[in-house]
Structure 1
Amino acid sequence: MHIIFEGVLPRHIKALVRYCISQKRFFTLQQLNTQISIFKYGYSEKMNKPRPIDRDHLTAEDKKIVQSASQMWLLGRLLPLMVGEFVPNDDPHWICYLGLLSVMVLCTAFEFTSDSIETLQLSIEDYLLRYNQLYPNSIAPKFHYLLHLPTQARLFGPLRHQWCMRFEAKNSQLKQFVGKNFKNLPKTIAERHQNYMCMHLLPSPGVERTNFLYSGDEIHKVDEYPLESFHPSQLKAIIMTTFPNKLFLPVSSCVKCLGQEFRPSGVICLKKPEDTDYPIFGEIRHVVVVRDSIYVAAQLYTTLGFNYHYYSYEVCLDNTYSVVLVSQLALYQVLHKYTINLQTLIVVRSCDHIEFFV
C-alpha cells in the first residue's frame, strides 16, 4: 500500500498530469477535475470518490496530490477512462503509465503462480526503465522498493495479504475513540474499543453466536417471486434448471458478503483471463438467497477484446444467462461497467494475469 498507493502512483500521476497539461496541452486541470466530479462511478466506488486535484499540489515540487490510499487506487485505475480520449495512443508517457497499471493489477492479486510472479518482475523492470527515461529527476526510493516485491511474493505469498490497508483502517477507527480526552490515552482507547467489540459481538437474546470476528452476511430486503415471473425466457429456463424443486425464489435487493456488495447492475467475472482466452463477465440481474447460499443470476457479456489505451476489456451484452454461487466466482470482486464513446468497458482491478501491449 505504502509503496504504490502512497508512493509510486501519486508521484507518477502528478508527473503525467503535468506533462499532459503543461507540455502537450492534451487537456486542462479544470477538465480533469470536472471528469473526476461527474464521472459515473460504480455503486461500490462512490465512497472512495477521488477529490479534485489542487493546482498548488500539482505545480509545487515539494507537495504531492492529496488523496487517501483508496482514493488514489480508484483514481489510478479510472484515469484512462477519464482522460484517455484526449491522449494519443502512441504517446510514450501514456504507455509508461499503463505499464504501472499492469504492475498494480498483479500486486493486488489474491493469488500468485510462478508464472505471474515472473510476469510481475518483468513488468516492474520494464516500467522502471520507461519511467527513468521519461522522468529522470522524479525517481524516489519507493520506485526501487518495487524491485523487491516479486521476491517478497515468492517468499510470503500474495502481496495484498501483507499490505497495511486494514491496519490503517483500524488505526483510523481507534482515532475516533479518543475524543477530547488525552489523559491516559491508552486506557481510554482500550476501554472504548472493548465496549465497541462487546456491542458488535453480543448476539440477540436467545441466539447463540456461531462466529466471532465476522458478523455474517448482510441480506437486505427479500421478496418471494414465483419462478414463472422471471423474464426473459432464457433467464427463466436457467433458473428453473438450477432450482428444479422450487415454486418461489427469495430474491434480495442487495447482499453484502465478505466485503463485496452484490446487487443488480454490478458486474461479476465468471471466468478469469488466460493467455489464450479473454475473461467472461456478467451483469447481475437478481441476487437469490436459498438457505445459507447466495446465488447471482447474471446476463453474460461477450468480451470483444482488451482496449490497452483505456486499460479495460471492451464488452457487449449477450442474450445468454447464468446462475452461479458467489463462492464459486472466478474473481471474488464486484466490478462495474463504464460507457466511453459508445464503448462498454470493464476494468479489472486485481488479477494474476495481465494483457500485454501489442
Structure 2
Amino acid sequence: MFICFMCSIEKANHQDLIHHYKTSHNLGHNSIYRCAQSNCFRAFQSLRSFRRHIVSHNVSDRNIYSELAPSLNFNTDNMIENYNNLDITDNTQDPCNVNACCSNLQPTSESFSKKNENVRKSTAAFALSLYSNPYLNRKCAMKIIDDVSELVTGVIGTMLSELSPNDDTPNKNIVEAISNSFDGLDTESKVIKYFSDRNIYTPPKKFTINENVTVNTGNSTVMLRPMLETGAIVPLRAVLKQIFELPNFLKCSTSIPDVQSISNFTQGNIWKQKLVGKMDENSLYIPYFLYFDDFECNNPLGSHAGIHSIAATYYTFPTLSADHASLLENIFVAMLHKSSSKSHGNASIYYELIKELKSLEQNGIDLEISEGVSKVYFILGMIIGDNLGLNTVLGFAKSFSSNYYCRICKAHKNIMGKQCKQDDGLMRNRHNYNTDVEINNVTTTGISERCVFNDISTFHVVDNFCVDIMHDIFEGVCHYDLTHIIVYFTESITLFTLNNLNNRLQLFDYGSGELNDRCGIIKHEHLMKSKFNMSASEMMLFVHIFPLLVGDLIPEDDEVWQFFLTLLEIIDILLCRDIDNSTLLYLEALISEHHESYVKLFHDTLKPKHHFMVHYPHVIKQVGPLRLIWCMRFEAKHKQLKRTASLITSRKNLPLTLLIKEQLTLAHRLYTGKGCETRIELGTRISEPLNIHDYLKDVIISDDVNLANSLNWVYYNGIKYVPGMILVISNRTCYNFFKIKFICVSSSSNNIYFLTEQIDCIGFNYHLQAHQLHQRETGLYRLIMPQDLIYAPTFCHIISNGDSYCRIKYI
C-alpha cells in the first residue's frame, strides 16, 4: 500500500497515489513531494523524481501473493518449494524447458551495461539536439525534456515495471534503463556538464572591457554601484582542436587544387610572404580569416533599436573547398560584445582575442587524427568585413567623406573622384604607415589609431588587402550605374518606359530553380535616390538578367549600353573562382574604361565604392579571387544569431547568451561527428527504374548507373537541380549546353547522375552578353555528374523576337 504524506490515506498503487496528489491536494510537476513509506522520509523537488523513487517501494510479487493466498485457497510457499524440488534434467517435469529458455534470454552484465550506456548516449543526443535547435530557446528545450522525461520514465517506465517480474531478469534491466535514462540530464546545467566532461561542449568565457560605476537610488539613499562592461569569447585553442579532429575536416582544409591560375588565398603573394621562415616539413600551416561586423538584435524600427546592437567576430578557413566554405556551419563565432563598447577602444576589446591568436601562431595545436598526431599552426591570413567595419577595427578614418579614407592607398578624396587607375606611388606601406601613426592626425593621414592586430607577428594592416564586392558592387556601384542607365533610356531618349521595364521584370521566366530570387518593382523615387529597394543577391540577379529584359529594345551602337556591357563583363570576372594573369590585365582595362565612361556620360564624380574598384586587380594578385572574401555568407550568419536573439526575452547579458547557443550547436555537430561531407537531398521518384542504356546505346555503363530511379528534383551541395535546367560544360575553345532530361540516383551507391540532351549553340551575342541556343531534339545524350560542374544551372530565356538565350554564371 502507498501512503499520502499529507493526509495519510492509503492507495493500492503508486499511480492512484499520484492521481490523489493532483486531484485532492493540487500538487503539480514542480511541487515538493515527501515519501511516507515505512522508514523513508526523503523529499523531492519534482514529480518526476518522486515517481522514480516511489516505484522502488513497489511491494514484491511474493509478498502480494502471500497476502492474497488465504482468499485464493492456495499456499505460495508450497508452490515455490515444489518448483524448487523439480528435477530440471527431467524434461517430463519441465516440458517447456523454462530454465533453458531463461538462461538464453538472460543477458550478461557486460552486454546490459553496454546497452544501458547506448540508451544514455541516445538520451544525451536528444537533449543536445533540443538545446542546439535554432528555433527553440533553452527554456523551451528544458520544458520539452521535462515532458518527455515524465512520459518515458513515468508513464512508460511504470507500465513496464508492472509487467516485469520482481527478480533480476531482462525485463527488469530494461525497466531500470528506461526509468534512469534521464538521470543526470534533467537540468540544463547537468546537460552542459555531461558534454563538458567529455570535451564536447566548450563554454564561452566572459571578459571585462571596461569598469565603471553607476548611481543606484533606493530607500531614499544614493549609492555608487560598480558596473562592468563585458563581452564573451570562445577558447579558440580547445575549439579548433575539436573542429579539426572532425572527419575529413583537416583533409578538406589542406587539399588545394594544383592550377596555374589564382583560385585560392594560398596562391596569392601575401600567404607566400607569411610563410617565409616557416617551412617545417613536419608541421602544417593553416590560414584563417577574421570577420567583423555589427547586427541589430531588436526591431530596427522599434524604440529600442541600437541599444542592444551586437558586434560579432567570426572566423573561417579559406582553404576549404567552395562547397564547404559557403556553409554557415563552417563559419564559427569567436567573440561577441555590445557595439556600444567600441567607445572604449579596440585595445581593450580585442586584448583577449589577440592573446589567443598569438598563442595559436606561436605554439600551434597537436591534432589526433587517423593518420596520427599532427602539429598545426594557425596563421591570421586576413581581416575581412565591410568598409565601415574594417576602417573601425583597423584604425582608419570612419567617415568616407574624409580626406584619406582608403585603407590601401593614400590618395586624396579629390583625386579619388576622378581616378581611373591605381597609382602605385600612393600605396600604403609599413614605412609611411609608421610615419602617419606618429603624426597622429586623421585629417592628414586617414589613420585614427595604430592597428592593435599589428601585435601579431605575421600580420600587418597595410598588407590586409581586403575589399568587399558585395557592398562595393551589388550594394553600391550597380545602384549608381543602373539608376543613371535607366533614367537615360526611360527619360533622356525614351526607348522604353519604367512601366515597360517593370512589366517585363514581373513577367520574366526565372525558372523553377530561382523562384525565391525574384526582383521587386522599380519606382521613380528609387532612381532619384540612386538606390533600388533590392538586396545584394536581388541586385546580382537583376544585373544578370537585365540584358535579356531590355536588350532587344536598344541599338547596338548606343554608348550608354556599351557602358553597361563593360560593367557586366567586370562583374562576370569578379564572380569567377579562378583568374589568370591575362584576365587580370583585361580586368584592369575594363575598370579604367568603366570609370572614364561614368564621368563622361553622366557628368558625375566617382564615389568611394568606385575608387575601391581600381585596387581590385592588385588585390586579386595578393589574396586570390574576390568572391572568396566577400561578406555575403557572413551576412547570412547574422540571421542565425538574430533568430536566436528573437527567441530570448532577456537582454541582461545577450552576447554570452548567444555564444552559449552557438557553442551548444557546435557541440551537437561534434557529438554527431559531422565533418566535411557531400550534402544530398533527394526529391520524390517519378517513374519506375530508368534504363539509361536505352539512351546511351553505344556507351559502356556500369551496373551502378544502368538502372536508376528518376527524381523530380535534387539538392546537391545546396544547389537545386530540376529537369529542364541547362547545364554548361566548357573546354578551352567553346561552351557546350545540355538540358536535363532525367535526374537519376543509383539504387546501390546513391550517386547522382543527370541524363542530358545536348543543345545546339548558334553563337555568342555580344549585345546581350548571352549564348543563343537552338532548342530542338538532337538525340545526343550525355551522362553528367554534379561534381563535374563549375557553372551554375540555368534556363533558356525567350526574348520578344522568339529567340532563346542563356547567360552562364559560376556556381
For the aligned pair, the TM-score class normalised by the smaller chain equals 0.7 to 0.9
Partner amino acid, structure 1, of 2:784: V
- Show the counterpart of 2:532: 65
Distance 1:185 1:89, change over 3 A: same
Task: Specify the alignment match of 2:701 in structure 1.
Answer: 242
**Which secondary structure state, in structure 2, belongs to the residue aligned with residue 345 of structure 1?**
strand
Structure 1, unpaired ranges of 5+: 204-208, 352-358
Name the CA shift for 1:226/1:177 in 2 (closer, same or farther; >3 Å): closer
**Equivalent residues of 2:696, 2:781 under 8 A apart:** no
**Take 2:671 and 2:564, find their aligned partners in 1: how far apart are those partners?**
48
Greater mean deviation of Cα atoms: 50-59 or 89-98 = 50-59
Residue 173 of structure 1: how far off its partner (Å): 2.6
Q: How far off its partner does 1:71 sit?
A: 0.1
Supply the distance in 1 between the matched residues of 2:743 and 2:472 (Cα, whole angstroms). Answer: 37
Which of 774, 779, 804 aligns to 1:316? It is 774
User: Residues 129-148 of structure 1 correspond to what in structure 2 (within 5 A)?
Assistant: 129-148=596-615
Residue from 762, 787, 805 that aligns with 1:327: 787
Aligned pairs for 1:13-28 (under 5 A) are: 13-28=482-497
Q: Distance in 2 between matches of 1:225 and 1:46?
A: 29
- Partner SS for 2:471: coil
* Closer/same/farther in 2, CA of residues 266 and 198 from structure 1, 3 Å limit: farther
Partner residue in 2 for 1:206? none
Match of 1:338 in 2: 797
State whether residues 278 and 305 of structure 1, in contact with CA within 8 Å, keep that contact through their aligned partners in structure 2: no
Greater shift in the superposed pair: 150-159 or 285-294: 285-294
Query: Partner of 1:220 in structure 2?
Result: 683
- Cα separation, 1, equivalents of 2:589 and 2:659: 46
Confirm or deny: 8 A CA contact 1:270 1:281 kept in the other structure. Answer: yes
Q: Aligned match of 1:83 in 550, 567, 573?
A: 550
Q: Equivalents in 2 of 1:201, 1:255: separation in Å?
A: 27
- Cα-to-partner distance string for 1:326-352 (whole Å, 9 max, x where unaligned): 2122x242122111121111111249x
Match of 1:259 among 689, 696, 718: 718
Instruction: Write the deviation string for residues 150-208 of structure 1: whole angstroms up to 9, x where unpaired.
Output: 111111111111111100111123222211543322123223444555667775xxxxx
Q: Quote the residue 1:49 is aligned against.
A: 518
Alignment-mate amino acid for residue 76 of structure 1: V
Which residue pairs with 1:170 in the alignment? 637
Instruction: Determine the C-alpha separation between the residues in 1 that align with 2:667 and 2:472.
Output: 35
- CA–CA distance in structure 2, aligned partners of residues 260 and 106 of structure 1: 21
Query: Which residue of 93, 98, 101 corresponds with 2:565?
Result: 98
Q: Deviations over 1:20-41 (max 9, x none)?
A: 1110111111111122212110
Alpha-carbon deviations, 1:191-239, whole Å to 9, x = none?
3444555667775xxxxx4x336572112224674455x69x6x2426x
Radius of gyration: which is bigger? 2
Distance 1:224 1:34, change over 3 A: closer
Partners of 2:666 and 2:500 lie apart in 1 by 45
Residues 1:227 and 1:176: Cα distance change in structure 2 (over 3 Å): closer
Matched positions, count: 335
Say yes or no: does 1:304 pair with 2:762: yes
Distance, in Å, in 1 between the alignment partners of 2:548 and 2:759 is 20
Partner of 1:123: 590
Query: 1:278 Cα deviation (Å)?
Result: 2.8
Q: Distance in 2 between matches of 1:174 and 1:52?
A: 30
Q: CA deviation at 1:259?
A: 2.5
Cα separation, 2, equivalents of 1:246 and 1:259: 23
d(CA) in 2 for partners of 1:83 and 1:247? 45
> Is structure 2 residue 739 aligned with structure 1 residue 279?
no
> Is 1:111 paired with 2:111?
no
Normalising by the residue count of structure 2, what TM-score does the alignment of the two structures yield?
A: 0.39
Runs (4+) of structure 1 moved beyond 6 Å? 199-202
Contact 1:227 1:236 in 2 (8 A): no
Residue 224 of structure 1 contacts residue 249 of structure 1 at CA under 8 Å; is this kept in 2? no
Secondary structure class of the residue paired with 1:129? helix
Q: Is the 1:254–1:262 Cα contact (8 Å) retained in structure 2?
A: yes
Q: Which has the higher contact order (CA 8 A, sep 6+)?
A: 1
1:295 and 1:30 map into 2 onto residues whose CA distance is 43
TM-score calculated relative to the size of structure 1? 0.85
CA shift for structure 1 position 279: 0.7
Residue in 2 aligned with 1:347? Answer: 807
The residue aligned with 2:481 is: 12
Aligned twin of 1:289: 745
| SS across alignment from 2:723 | coil
Q: CA deviation at 1:45?
A: 2.0
Q: What residue identity is the alignment partner of 1:326?
A: P
Cα RMSD after superposing both structures: 2.4
Q: Residues 334 and 18 (structure 1 numbering): CA distance in 2 closer, same or farther, change over 3 Å? A: same
Amino acid across the alignment from 1:278: C
Query: How far apart are the structure 1 equivalents of 2:666 and 2:499?
Result: 45
Indicate the residue corresponding to 1:157 in structure 2.
624
Report the AA paired with residue 788 of structure 2.
Q
Write the distance in 2 (CA, Å) between the matches of 1:223 and 1:200: 34
Of all paired residues, the percent bearing the same amino acid is 27
After superposition, what is the alpha-carbon deviation per residue over 1:134-161, rounded to whole angstroms, capped at 9, x for unaligned?
1231521111211111111111111111
